[in-house]
């Protein structure tokens, strides 16, 4: 007779320290939070899709840098919030204006000179721009994980605790 692991009272022994039960209870608050997070993420995906279709439909340009412009908007919002005293709507307006200006500069410098029969060139230009934006942002903000301000110093952390730094041990 086989037993189902989901109905056992103890978790599989992944480590010596793991004693949590396998079954998880989901209360109404957690379910509501998951639902709202899913709806929010779906709306973000819909916004991205509508933006891509609008740009392709109106300008007949496939914009491979669309996601990177969204990333610039997120960074602009993250920087505008503390400057505006954590006031959401003025920070949002500032972030939108900042990314609109970046998009206008990109259009005027790179895309306005493309003829309608140069469809492939618009793909190459926006793909190259995408790569440039990604690498510039990685250079500015680094891709190296860092410990937060309230992290435990490495000398006091145990050797078995997970490390947030890329170093060994």
Residue-wise pLDDT tens digits, 110-136:
988 888 788 889 899 999 999 999 999
Write down the pTM of the prediction. Answer: 0.63
Mean per-residue pLDDT of the chain: 81
Q: Over 50: is that where the pLDDT of 167 sits?
A: no
Rounded mean pLDDT, 46-60: 88
CA distance 106 to 114: 12
* Burial environment of residue 98 by CB neighbours within 10 A (0 to 12, 13 to 18, 19 or more): middle
Q: Over 90: is that where the pLDDT of 139 sits?
A: yes
Among 31-45, 85-99, 152-166, whose mean pLDDT is lowest? 152-166
- Of 125, 105, 104, the C-alpha closest to 115 is 125
In the chain, % of residues over pLDDT 90: 46
Please give the pLDDT value at position 160.
47
Q: Which residue ranges make up each domain of the chain?
A: 21-59, 62-141
CA atoms within 13 A on the CB side of 98: 18
Q: Over 70: is that where the pLDDT of 161 sits?
A: no
Q: Which letter, b or e, does each residue of 56-74 get, where b requires 16 or more Cβ atoms within 10 Å of its Cβ? A: eeeeebebbbbebbeebbe
CA distance 100 to 73: 9
């Amino acid at each position: 007779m086989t037993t189902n692991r989901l109905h056992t009272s103890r978790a599989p022994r992944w480590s010596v320290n793991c004693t949590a039960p396998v079954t998880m209870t989901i209360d109404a608050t957690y379910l509501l939070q998951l639902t709202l997070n899913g709806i929010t993420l779906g709306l973000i995906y819909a916004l991205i899709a509508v933006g891509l279709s609008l740009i392709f439909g109106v300008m007949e340009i496939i914009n491979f840098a669309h996601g990177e412009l969204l990333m610039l908007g997120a960074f602009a919002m993250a920087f505008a919030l503390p400057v505006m005293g954590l006031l959401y709507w003025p920070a949002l307006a500032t972030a939108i204006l900042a990314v609109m200006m970046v998009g206008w500069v990109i259009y005027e410098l790179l895309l306005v000179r493309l003829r309608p029969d140069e469809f492939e060139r618009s793909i190459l230009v926006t793909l190259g721009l995408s790569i440039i934006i990604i690498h510039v942002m990685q250079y500015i903000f680094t891709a190296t994980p860092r410990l937060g301000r309230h992290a435990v110093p490495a000398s006091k952390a145990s050797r078995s605790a997970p490390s947030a730094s890329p170093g060994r041990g």
